[in-house]
Amino acid sequence: MAYIKALSYYLPDKVSSTSDLYDLLGKEYVDKVAKQVGVGFRHISSKNQTSSDLAVCAAEKMFEEYKIEREIIDYVIFCTQTPDYLMPSTSCILQDRLKLSHNCGTTGIDLGCSGFVYGLAIAQSFVKAGLAKNVLFLTADTISKVLSETSESRLLFGDGAAACLISDEGFCKIGSEFVLGSDGSGYKDLILENSGMRNYYAEKDPDDPKNYMYMNGENIFNFTAKTVPPLVDSTLEKYGFTKEDVDLFVFHQANKFMLNTVRKVCGISKDKFYIDLENYGNTTSSTIPIALKDAMDKQIIKPGSKVMIAGFGIGLSWAGGILKF
């Protein structure tokens, strides 16, 4: 069996409020969109602050909060879509920066919105197979750096990181069954086109919108509305559960309007559905662990709680699982 033994998160010091975008996008428009997406504040990384910087802060916070000795870590998984470099893997850099053992293996996951659930599935399989005993799973992104100055996405996305220790003991049992899926035919619906090797040799105009993240909001919304209800049903079926057996549903915090739509389509009651966007925005792969930690701190999640987690988005990809606290 595999468990979450520790869970923490870190947010950059700089905070951007909705009103900060009035001059760029217009007050009336900003207020309208902010109300729809449910975000009032976002944490923004500084110019020279990278995803590994955020991940290190999250890990160090977790070590201190739970009195974890770093010597026990024997594997690192790092999930990000904004790595420090195309090569080498930022996971290797984190092993060094966190002063972990040279016998500690590392793996990078190139996923966003579904990445936390995918990472848990991978980490728990390592622990169950005996390949590692204490897996440090880190998520971090600096999405603000790939948004244009006038992008409405600045109203939604924030930067952040989370640290999770998966072990053979802990306070939260990770269910052994996961539902994982992908549909790469929709890859262009959420993309940073001028970011890898496909256009590496192309002559680039600094004002080219392909230098910034593009999101086809309508297609992503339709994908979510189509994919998440079957994802919920399939996950419940794997455990022989009904919706009534689950105490709390914690989904990727995409935006308030999308989450409420999915909740209604899935037939989940408001009191069992957690939304945690107001002060953080969409922090991609870190939204679920941030929401879990906040729900624990608020005692919404208590010992004995069964929690369904579900991630969905860029890829296109999706994943679901059950946690038992």
Residues in CB range of 96: below 8 A, 6 or more apart: none
Nearest CA among 132, 106, 120 for reference residue 97:
106
Active site residue 282: yes
233/247 Cα distance (integer angstroms): 15
Contacting residues for 72 by C-beta, under 8 A, at least 6 apart: 133, 134
**CA–CA dist 148, 117 (Å, integer):** 29
At 165, list the tokens. 């220790």
Q: Catalytic pick from 113, 164, 172, 266? A: 113
What whole-number distance in Å separates Cα of residue 254 and Cα of residue 312? 9
Q: Which of 43, 79, 252, 255 is catalytic?
A: 252
Taking the C-alpha atoms of residue 30 and residue 35, their distance in angstroms, rounded to an integer, is: 8
DSSP notation for 149-170: TT-GGGGTB--EEEEEEEESS-
**Residue 252 a catalytic site member:** yes
Helices 115-129 and 287-297 pack at an angle, to 10 degrees, of 80
Q: 279 near 294, Cβ under 8 Å?
A: no
Active site (catalytic) residues: 113, 252, 282
